């Protein structure tokens, strides 16, 4: 008895995803490149949306201005904080080396 499943060879081809999953988004009039990260190492990073640490091994997104070709101004965000960035961004901008309190 033949299978009822459609052969993958007879289905229309799906569009290919980019290798990194990188996408373009706009926020506050600036174009950003956004890439999901599985959290397989690195960190800890500080999320600019909630000012909390992203421990190593936690999935998140990395965002940087699209005109920054070498991505030196990238920031690591919790996925939920990036999705709610209009409500979550702190009022105070801190540099990477600034102390959290003080």
Q: Tell me: the pLDDT tens digits for 27-70?
A: 888 899 999 988 767 768 888 888 888 888 888 999 999 888 77
Of all residues in the chain, what percent carry a pLDDT higher than 90?
14
CB 44 within 8 A of CB 54: yes
- Selection from 73, 44, 74, 72 nearest residue 58 by Cα: 44
Separation between Cα atoms, residue 78 and residue 55, nearest integer Å: 10
- Selection from 15, 70, 78 nearest residue 50 by Cα: 78
- Residue 76 in this model has a pLDDT that exceeds 80: yes
- Selection from 69, 78, 8 nearest residue 43 by Cα: 78
Name the more confident of 98 and 82.
82
- Residue 102 in this model has a pLDDT that exceeds 60: no
- Residue 14 in this model has a pLDDT that exceeds 50: yes
pLDDT of residue 89: 57
């Amino acid at each position: 008895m033949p299978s009822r499943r459609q052969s993958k060879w007879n289905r229309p081809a799906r569009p290919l995803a980019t290798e990194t999953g990188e996408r373009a988004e706009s926020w506050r009039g600036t174009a950003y490149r956004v890439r999901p990260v599985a959290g397989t190492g690195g960190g800890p990073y500080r999320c600019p949306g909630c000012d909390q640490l992203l421990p190593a091994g936690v999935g998140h997104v990395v965002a940087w201005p699209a005109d920054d070709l070498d991505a030196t101004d990238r920031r690591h965000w919790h996925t939920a904080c990036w999705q709610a960035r209009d409500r979550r961004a702190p009022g105070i901008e801190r540099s990477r080396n600034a102390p959290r309190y003080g």
